[in-house]
Amino acid sequence: MIPAYWTQAVQDLASRDQVMCQLIQRFDDIVLRSRGNAFSTLARSIVGQQISVKAAESVWQKVINAVPDITPHTIHAAEEGLLRACGLSLRKISYLQDLSRHFREGVLDVSTWDALSDEALIAELIQVKGIGRWTAEMFLIFHMLRPDVLPLDDIGLQRAISRHYFDSEPVDKKMMHALAQSWQPWRSVATWYLWRSLDPFPVEY
């Protein structure tokens, strides 16, 4: 699924911001897409915590080779040793198990999510062990396709903003937030293009 707002967002960002204009022209080969599976997107986000995009992709491929049908039930039933062999830490395995439990027991009600604001949905998701604000924001961007998410804690976004806007000088959250004001209501799209500028692999969850 491709965001319905993508064309409008790209046009607006390119007209307002010269850096965005250059990035959009440079990376016009692919757009943000939702995989349409809430559980696997959250699981993939947990797998990707605190490691590079390339490393996360490698581990995830091992997981789906070991457990081809990724569902709350198959992850819950997977042996710890099998998941460890994929490169997952014991902590991440415990997070995946807790995520599985929340889905299996109906604690997370997917049917209500479209009606929730970004902040309300983040508040619900962070009740799962191992899901913090960053992981919830990745879910909002990559599964819910929310258009105006700005993940200030994301190291890749921090690096890209530093490189493209501040001559590679360090940036803090206040500086990032101020810069991103002009990107509203398309901060998810701007973030995606800044990620693309850093890595040959498009960020996906």
Residues carrying an active site annotation: 154
Q: What is the DSSP secondary structure assignment for residue 78, as one 8-state letter?
A: S
202 preceded by a cis bond (ω within 30 of 0): no
Q: Which residues contact 174 (CB under 8 A, 6 or more apart)?
A: none
